[in-house]
Amino acid sequence: MTDIAIGTTSTAWSNAWLRVMAVLYDPFLWLGEIAGMRRRRRALVAAARGLVVEIGAGTGLNVAHYPDAVDELILTEPEPGMRRKLAGRLRRLPRTARIVDAPAQRLPVPDASVDTVVSTLVLCTVDDPQGALREIARILRPDGQLLFIEHVRAGSRLLAVWQDLLMRPWRGFAGGCVCNRPTLNLMRGCGFTVQADDTVWRGMPAIVHPLAVGRATR
């Protein structure tokens, strides 16, 4: 009985905090957005084409930047609070898109049907990143692409140590974000060819400064 009570309390607390995070998400990222992340989002999704699936679309910070080359846009987001914010943003924009309640590991999309998958600051939060990457590989066409901005494990030994030390409290605060995840290595381990540039997420805490921005193909 004790284990069940603890589990229930933990889940209730987690769900409550995720609802709070949906409200605080945009204000928390605001400084990082004006310090360069908004520009990076715009440059990244400029390369999107055809049928596009964005995983973990959150509050929709990428939506305004998609180009006319996108024929259809599917925005997946498993958190109800985030989906409400996303729907509100979509109503204020001329872009047409479909919002789908789905986690990155289980996308309701046929095999080999998608031209572009977009992932921005998502693969750090999923419980099973390899499962998410395998699912992305499943839905991509043979000539498809994964466009990504992900914060990753630091190349600096000192910063990596701080990431390791602070990972648990940060994960609890930041909606499950694993700040020290070696995401590019995971991509390669799942069979992707990765082209990425290293940069810095300015305006945010140092443990999430290291960013990888790029494109992955099969």
CA distance 91 to 103: 23
SS3 129: helix
Q: What is the pTM of this model?
A: 0.92
- Please report whether residue 194 resides in a domain: yes
Which distant-in-sequence residues (6+ apart) come within 8 Å of 161 by Cβ? none
pLDDT attached to residue 21: 83
Answer with the residue of higher pLDDT: 57 or 2.
57
pLDDT at 13: 63
In a domain, 164, yes or no: no
pLDDT band at 7 (very low <50, low <70, confident <90, very high): very low
pLDDT band at 188 (very low <50, low <70, confident <90, very high): very high
Whether residue 161 lies inside any domain: the answer is: no
Does position 2 have pLDDT exceeding 50, yes or no? no
Q: Is the model more confident about 85 or about 21? A: 85
What pLDDT is attached to residue 40?
98
Task: Identify the domain containing residue 37 by its residue range.
Answer: 2-151+183-217
Give per-residue pLDDT as tens, 59-109.
Answer: 999 999 999 999 999 999 999 999 999 999 999 999 999 999 999 999 999
Polymer length in residues for the chain: 218
Number of domains in the chain: 1
Whether residue 69 lies inside any domain: the answer is yes
CATH classification of the domain holding 136: 3.40.50.150
* 188 occurs within a structural domain: yes
173 lies in some domain? no
Model confidence at 5, pLDDT cuts 50, 70, 90, reads: very low
Nearest to 132 by CA among 156, 111, 107, 113: 107
State how beta strands 50-55 and 70-76 pair. Answer: parallel
Above pLDDT 90, what percent of the chain? 88
> If we measure between CA atoms, which residue out of 27, 59, 42, 44 comes closest to residue 204?
27
| Per-residue pLDDT at 9 | 40
- Check whether 4 has a pLDDT greater than 70: no
**108 within some domain:** yes
Assess if residue 171 is contained within a domain: no
